[in-house]
Amino acid sequence: MTDSRHALIIANDQYADQGLKKLRAPAQDAAALEKVLHDPQIGDFEVGVVHNASADLMRRRIQGFFNDRSRADTLLLHFSCHGLKSESGELYFAASDTEPPLLAATAVPSQFVRSCMSSTRAGRTVLFLDCCYGGAFSRGSSSVRASGEVNVLESFAKDEPASGRGWAVITASDSMEYAFEGGRLADDSASQPSVFTHAVVEGLETGEADLDTDGEVSLDDLYEYVYRHVREQNPHQTPKKAAEMRGELHLAHSRRGRIKIVAVPSPLSLQAAMRSEDVLTRQGAVMELHKRLRHTELPVAEGARQHLAEVARNDIQQIAELATEALNEIRLAPSPDHLDFGLLPRGSPSRKQAVTMHGPPLARHCMAQPQKPWLRVDPTLSGLEVHIDTAAEGRLSGDIVLKGVAEESVIHVEAVVGPAPGPGLRTEPGPGSSNGPTRPPQGPKSTQDTVILESPYNPPRFKPPPVTPAPRTRTDQPSPSRRAPVLAGAALALAVTAVSTLIRAIQAAAMAVSERSHKGATGDIEYYVREQGMFLPLILCLITGAVALVIGAFARHDLGARQEHYTKRAGKTAHTLTSVVKWLAIPTLILAVLIGVTYLVGSAWA
């Protein structure tokens, strides 16, 4: 994108006023939208996010966002919050400190946003409204009741901006009513994860919104895609659009062309567990989806991937992070991702270089698209083989784009083609290599060549050559390490020892105090403490507790510094054990020190 592009995302899901029910979607929506808009390969926007802000801060950020712009700027403002309609019919956007009886003072009026849009010098302005709307106030009551439709577009499409080339407003729905009773939003209108923003993110991220397949997602493309997606998900919700735009506005690059797999949905019981109110049940569902993600049958794995992506977008942070961690396993991982062929004589058969694709079957199933006419790609059992056409002299530099089900990766290739070995010499192409100079140039067409790299667990669409995959070396796949779990286990044993010796010291101290009390004022506390043997277990407690913490710290350091040497299970085990060590050893040491200080103070006053 050549123009300067800026986006501001306003997401409010928590409100001080009890009449505004907490929303589930805005925080997840903001994170997903920020990621796809900021991605230089998709939106290439400079993105700012305002989360759970006051009305005053929202007005400041909105006005600052539209100020000091130029005609080369494209601005995108996204609201995800409650929308409220005043008694006079004006639309307001709820802030975290909004008080429904005081909308003019504690909320952001749509008139303010429209004024900022009208006065900006930016060439193009786009407004996305993903709000649930409340009705007018009932007199003498702080509750809010629905009273007529909320015609959102009428709040923005009254006049054309004074400057700039165009503007557009797209709403999740133009006329939605939500009932507010007794200071709370009715249960039957509780907000679910946003279908609208999810459709925007999915359309941009996958490139499916590029309806005319021209490589760019235009505003019209995105609206048509979102409209269809929302209507399919909820027939009672109808997105609307109003625009005054000269020419076509491209919001994002298209990522169409990714490999597609018809997904097999996960079992209904597993889908029900994903939506359970119990956090542990949802966590168990993520773990089961993680197992299915590694399935050798790609449709099963793709179904699990889609469900994990849904969890990562919509669930609480703890569960979303588990889902994201599972999805990271199917990231495209070519090794190596940079190939240097060095100096090659013109017309010579190119040396082949192999690229191995790592990960489960779904991560290895992708399309390889050479971006230069001199690049050649052949599939192998373990990945792909790359060689180049040496018909023309010069320095060669190009990429092979790998497109999987969820993302892209790039293999960069470099070579230098020098003069031919000598006059009269013809270099015959070797097996599997490109033709020499007698071969007519392929031209741009070869950039469209696509090679499907299929998982060896699936019936291939081609007959693979008899290539024996090279064994993986230590540098290619590090051997699993057990150092951190062993250290963590030793630290836990020492922590347990510290606890047991502390208990023994406490028992000895209690017996010493008891015997001292029987002797009255003449008893010597130091004598009874030595007699009961309190010092030895107390000293052992201090030593073993301190050593346990030190060893646990070493285990955590090694786990962080050499993470690639540990399996996921070993890493989790070590992390859990070191956490238990801290919870045992630190309180134990504190109690041991307090006992020692108490003894010293008591002896001094005795």
CATH number, domain of 184, equals 3.40.50.1460
Q: What is the mean pLDDT of residues 444-470?
A: 48
* 347/395 same-domain check: yes
Specify the length of the chain in residues: 606
Do 321 and 390 belong together in one domain? Answer: no
Pair 524, 568 in one domain: yes
Please check whether residues 445 and 535 belong to one and the same domain.
no
* Cα Rg of the chain (Å, integer): 33
Residue 153 lies in domain: 4-192+238-248
The answer to whether position 168 is within a domain reads: yes
Q: What is the mean pLDDT of the chain?
A: 78
For residue 514, pLDDT beyond 50: yes
User: Is 492's pLDDT higher than 50?
Assistant: yes
Per-residue CA distances from 485 to 65, 498, 564, 576, 584 (Å)? 50, 20, 14, 9, 17
83 and 32, same structural domain?
Answer: yes
The string of pLDDT tens digits covering residues 221-238 is 999 999 988 888 878 778
Query: What is the pLDDT, as a whole number, of residue 519?
Result: 66
- List alpha helices for 168-259, DSSP H: 195-206, 219-233
Local confidence band at 7 (pLDDT 50, 70, 90 cut-offs): very high
Is 168 found in the same domain as 32?
yes
187 in a domain, yes or no?
yes
* Structure-model confidence comparison of residues 38 and 313, the more confident one: 38
Residue 345 lies in a domain: yes
CA distance 535 to 505: 7
User: Under 8 Å CB-to-CB from 337, ≥6 apart: which residues?
Assistant: 355, 409, 410, 411, 412
Whether residues 324 and 344 share a domain: the answer is no
Task: Give residue 475's pLDDT.
Answer: 40
pLDDT digits (tens, 9 = 90+) for 126-144: 999 888 764 323 233 344 4
Does an H or E element contain 596, and which? Answer: helix 568-605
Pair 160, 289 in one domain = no
Please tell me whether residues 56 and 181 are part of one structural domain. Answer: yes
Structural domain total, the chain: 4
- The fraction of the chain above a pLDDT of 70, given in percent, is 76
pLDDT score recorded for residue 28: 80
Percent of residues in the chain assigned helix, strand, coil, to nearest 5: 40, 20, 35
pLDDT of residue 257: 57
Does 477 reside within a domain? no
Eight-class DSSP state of 292: H
Same domain flag for 244 and 307: no
Q: Which among 385, 445, 448, 449 has a CA at the least distance from the CA of 411?
A: 385
Q: What is the mean pLDDT of residues 57-80?
A: 93
268 or 436, greater pLDDT: 268
Give the number of other Cβ atoms within 10 Å of residue 70's Cβ: 12
Lowest mean pLDDT among 32-46, 176-190, 246-260, 390-404: 176-190
What letter would DSSP give residue 174?
Answer: S
pLDDT at residue 455, as a whole number: 58
List, for residues 83-132, the tens digit of each pLDDT value.
888 877 788 899 999 998 898 999 999 889 989 998 899 999 999 988 87
User: β-strands 124-134, 4-11: how paired?
Assistant: unpaired
Q: Do 519 and 597 sit in the same domain of this protein?
A: yes
The pLDDT value given to residue 109: 92
**157 or 439, which is more confident?**
157
pLDDT at 98: 92
Could you tell me if 288 and 383 lie in one domain? no
**Do 356 and 469 touch, CB atoms closer than 8 A?**
yes
